Chains A and B, each alone.
Chain A
Amino acid sequence: MKTLYIMQKEIRESILTPKGFLWYILTSIILSVLSYLFLTNRELSLLDQGTMLYMIMNFITALGVLMGLVFGSDAFAGEIERGTLEALFLSPVNRMEIAAGKLGAVLTNWGIIFAVSLPYLFIVGKGGQNLLMGILYLGILGTLLSIIFSAFSMGLSARIKSMKNSLIISFFVFLLAGSPVFISAALRRTWFGRILDLVNPFADAVNTFDSVVIDSQGFSYQIGRVAIICVYTLLCIWFLKRSAVKLEM
């Protein structure tokens, strides 16, 4: 129950604020522009619907992860900087309950982004054969990636106690995670590219979307990548737990 009260406080603090709404309005505007271009631009509209859906799914995932990093970096370091964490630690709530409440709020944020993006996914992927499967995978893998990156940045903010520094490091890790997506297809096919792809949860998610939406491959093809994402999820939750318990003010 205490976790729920902390989660409720976090949601009111970060999401149900003018700044929070601005994020969602911005998300909605960007998705509107992307969808409009996919459907009306002469070159983009030549893409098949699977590819369009895949591209917009990548964008939604990256946005969710980015917002998770921002909220995660603020989780402990922000409260230390504002002087509010000590009163929270004085109360008979254990550190894991506090961390779980904060993580729950980040996941709520991801849930809102996912809900906001649903109409755009339906518009762009309408008529495509893997639309529902794509949405299902986006929901599951997007949630796991949100946990991975936000738990990591929350753990980091508890350890280094500086919101600015934890945000910089988190962004750097996110860029590293996203780098296989940005490198050329030829480089990705080399042994180095393949290893980088395999050990990287963000690339695993993107490759799974590709496999499901464009190549129409079944779950048996995705097991390895999904398993790696699950391992990362557990590792990052463990990192968050260790960091929250060890946090000294």
Chain B
Amino acid sequence: MEIGKEKIPTMTMKMEVKGNEQEGAEDVPPPIKRRLTMIIEVKDLVKKYDGHTALDGLNFNVEEGDIFGFLGPNGAGKTTTIRILTGIIRADSGQAMIGGHDVFRETMEVKKLINALPESNGYYEWMTACEYLWFFSKLYVVRTSRQEILMLLEGVGLNGRENHVIHSLSRGMKQRLGIARALINRPKLLFLDEPANGLDPGGRRDIHDLLTDLNRKHGTTIFLSTHLLDDVKRLCNKIAILNYGKIVRAGEVERLKGTVEDIFFMSTKEGAL
């Protein structure tokens, strides 16, 4: 099945981070050109929970075609950011645009462009893998034949499991099924919140290959939230490090000075001070 409609050309522009330290900012291209290729634009996003500030004026942009690593220690605000950008919760203030649509005002339009695999994704355990995907295809109003669902399952390495009840699938298989569900509407932008959590090395490698494939063959932009630095090194071309609800470092992985580990630990240490 064709997952993306068209191949996205290779991007050469840089990510923009306002008000936060950023390396490689001198290469920022002209604004008009940049605006045309930004799939995520976040400006001054604030979210508070009972007085605790989860996001403290968050600013960042993501270009189409990127595999964007969103790193940060536990409680940094990664999941909150994803939930806001996917329209599940509202921010207290700030702006968020996805594919040129305002996340807060045009939520349904945004939801048609994106999909996500949440960190603690649950499954209707009594459904079969095929029924699960069919159910979500109906919610996305996507015309999906059984053949297409089988191809989607095959794409995530679940061929032959279509009639298996989800309850009987292993954790890794469920995670693959979750990814298949997240691809049901052929999203232009895919949010993944700790997709490799709890997977064995083989399962993690398979998911890495799948995501790389999705990005290269179909041009799907991937927003990967994780604290597994190994995943970031293998997959991402750009990263942003979040701590205490703020971006503390961002840029292209190759242009940032030092290893991902050094950048991460230094950044989170600086953010804490």
Contacts and interface: CB of A to CB of B under 8 A. Distances in A.
A158 to B, nearest CB: 14
A86 B88 contact: yes
A17 B116 CA distance: 30
A85 B118 CA distance: 10
Contacts of A82: 122
Contacts of A85: 122
Interface string B87-128: 111100000000000000000100110011010111110100
Contacts of B124: 9, 13, 84
Contacts of A92: 108, 111-112, 139-141
A92 B124 CA distance: 19
Contact of B138 (A5, A83, A84, A87): A5
A249 B89 contact: yes
A43 interface: no
B86 interface: yes
A2 interface: yes
Given A84-B123, A86-B121, A91 B140 contact: yes
Q: How large is the interface on B (under 10, 10 to 19, 20 to 34, 35 or more residues)?
A: 20 to 34
A186 interface: no
B121 A89 contact: no
Interface residues of A, number: 24
A5 B135 contact: yes
A2 B121 contact: no
Interface in B189-215: none
A90 B122 contact: no
Given A17-B126, A92-B112, A248-B89, A83 B121 contact: yes
B108 A91 contact: no
Contacts of B141: 1-2, 92
A83 B121 CA distance: 5
A94 interface: yes
A56 to B, nearest CB: 34
Nearest to B122: A83
A91 B139 contact: yes
B83 interface: yes
Interface string B115-154: 1101011111010000000011011110000000000000
Nearest to A8: B135
Given A84-B122, A86-B121, A249 B83 contact: yes
A90 B108 contact: no
Contacts of B123: 84
Interface string A2-28: 100110010011000100000000000
Contacts of B139: 2, 5-6, 88, 91-93
A90 B88 contact: yes
B181 interface: yes
Given A5-B135, A248-B89, A90 B126 contact: no
A90 B135 contact: no
A65 to B, nearest CB: 26
Contacts of B108: 92, 94
Given A13-B124, A13-B126, A86 B118 contact: yes
Interface in B133-187: 135-136, 138-141, 178, 181
B1 to A, nearest CB: 19
A1 B135 CA distance: 12
A89 B107 CA distance: 11
A6 B135 CA distance: 8
A10 B135 CA distance: 12
Given A87-B121, A92-B111, 17 more contacts: A1-B141, A2-B139, A2-B141, A6-B139, A13-B124, A82-B122, A83-B120, A85-B122, A86-B88, A86-B118, A86-B122, A87-B181, A90-B86, A90-B87, A90-B118, A92-B139, A248-B90
The 3 closest A-B pairs by CB, nearest first: A83-B122, A84-B122, A92-B111
8 contacts: A1-B141, A84-B124, A86-B118, A86-B120, A90-B87, A91-B139, A92-B140, A248-B89
Interface of B: 83, 86-90, 108, 111-112, 115-116, 118, 120-124, 126, 135-136, 138-141, 178, 181
